[in-house]
Amino acid sequence: MSRKRPGGPAKGPGGARLAHVRVKTARGRKLSSTRWLERQLNDPYVAEARRLGYRSRAAFKLLQIDARYRLLKPGLAIVDLGCAPGGWLQIARAAAGGNARIAGIDLLPVDPVADALLLQADFMAEDAPAALVAALGVSPDLVLSDMAPELTGHARTDHWRVAALAEAAAQFACATLTPGGAFAAKVFSGGAGPDLLRLLKRDFARVSHFKPDASRKESAEIYVIAQGFRGRQTGEGPENATEGDG
CB 207, CB 177: distance < 8 Å: no
On the 0-12 / 13-18 / 19+ scale of CB atoms within 10 A, 12 is: middle
Most distant CA pair in the chain: distance in Å? Answer: 69
Please report the DSSP string for 166-217 in residue order: HHHHHHHHHHHPPTT-EEEEEEETT-S-HHHHHHHHHHEEEEEEE--TTS-T
From 186, 201, 211, 217, the catalytic residue: 186
- Do residues 135 and 120 make contact, with C-beta atoms less than 8 angstroms apart? no
The question of whether 186 is a catalytic residue gets the answer: yes
Radius of gyration of the chain, Cα coordinates, nearest whole angstrom: 19
Cα separation, 7 vs 26, whole angstroms:
29
Length of the chain as a residue count: 246
Instruction: Cite the active site residues.
Output: 186
